[in-house]
Amino acid sequence: MVEAKKIFVGNYKGGVGKTTSIYQIALQMVELRYRVLLIDLDPQCSLSEICLARKGLGLEQLEPNESLNYIYDMWQQFKQFKSLPFSIDATPLIKATEENVHFIPSNTFYPNGGLDELALKLKEDFEDLLPLQQFFQRSGVENEYDFILFDCPPSNNIITQGAFLLSNYYIIPSIIQTLSIRGVVHYIKTVENIYKRVCIDSQYALLAQTLFGKKPELLGIFETLKKGTVNNHHVLNDLIADLQESTFTTLLFTQTEKNFTFKTIIQNYEDIARSTAAGKKCSEYAELTDEIIACIGKHKGVLL
């Protein structure tokens, strides 16, 4: 059985259209008849609110066992009773919009705290990197989907690190402006170092490699929220120069070209946000989604 391709979507800079992009990409994938699961790791719960609104629900209406928070809370409690196997029923967690986008929401109203509060209760050790990995392994949820997309917050806590290690790929949405791109190289260095620290340099490296698999591959960077009148070629060139100097590679590289960014540029159109809230696809994301799928297919050596 083929496991889902898991994609970590993140950036240390907020306000780059990350959540909107994830939802729009999911809508495009569903249109192409792929099975898609979204997992909201961001304590702000923006993606969860978008998805739940499509069902006429709000965060405050969720039961405790209907949010991602429940997995991490139960992990903490199960650890106190070592003889009990960690087991979570995925059925109440996974919901679907009428467009057939499946999602696991996070919840700021969870009784024992939001994801940011739950992350503070976890230890910065190997064991507490595992809740999501163990949930996936024991529930078999990744066998039910073609793609799983993680909406990650602009932070580097233990929950985010565990999701990155579990992923096959990662992708970075960014506004191509000086202030926005300054953190891109640092972000890549930080997430790449997570794998090195846990799966290569730690005393549990072999176990980590067994549980998490290979290092996530950088698909590339895609530009969002571009204003039509702005000429940002010099900023983009600066970013590419910094990436080349850091010797990073992406799966967009070919034998003749070293591409760091996807060709599709998402413009700063107000109707994109409105359409997303209404669960409507935006054509701007169709080509980007095709690029992402083709990039993964080329890496896998198959036509997806």
- Summarised one tens digit per residue, pLDDT across range 33-43 is 999 999 999 99
Retrieve residue 155's tokens.
């932070």
Measure the CA–CA gap between 285 and 198, rounded to whole angstroms. Answer: 35
Q: Answer whether residue 304 is part of any domain.
A: no
Q: Answer whether residue 9 is part of any domain.
A: yes
150: nearest Cα among 14, 259, 290, 11: 11
Could you tell me the pLDDT band of residue 1, with boundaries at 50, 70 and 90?
A: low
Question: Higher model confidence: residue 244 or residue 158?
Answer: 158
Q: What is the mean pLDDT of the chain?
A: 91
The DSSP annotation for 209-269 comes to HHHH-SPPEEEEEEEEEE-TT---HHHHHHHHHHHHHTT---TT--SS----EEEEEEE--
Residue 202 pLDDT: 96
Residue 179 has pLDDT above 80, yes or no: no
Could you tell me the pLDDT band of residue 301, with boundaries at 50, 70 and 90?
A: low
282-302: average pLDDT: 87
Tokens 């191509």 appear where? 176
253-280: average pLDDT: 83
Residue 24 pLDDT: 96
Could you tell me the pLDDT band of residue 152, with boundaries at 50, 70 and 90?
A: very high
Q: Summarize pLDDT for 104-151 with one digit per residue, the tens.
A: 999 999 999 999 999 999 999 999 999 999 999 999 999 999 999 999
CA dihedral 55, 59, 64, 69 (to 10 degrees): 110
Could you tell me the pLDDT band of residue 180, with boundaries at 50, 70 and 90?
A: low
Domain count, the chain: 1
Residue 280 pLDDT: 87
Residue 52 has pLDDT above 90, yes or no: yes
Question: Containing domain of residue 141, as a range?
Answer: 5-298
The domain that contains 159 carries what CATH number?
Answer: 3.40.50.300
Integer Rg of the chain from CA:
19
Q: Answer whether residue 60 is part of any domain.
A: yes
Residue 208 pLDDT: 98
Q: Answer whether residue 303 is part of any domain.
A: no
Residue 70 pLDDT: 98
Length of the chain in terms of residues written: 304
Percent of the chain with pLDDT over 70: 95
Question: Higher model confidence: residue 104 or residue 280?
Answer: 104
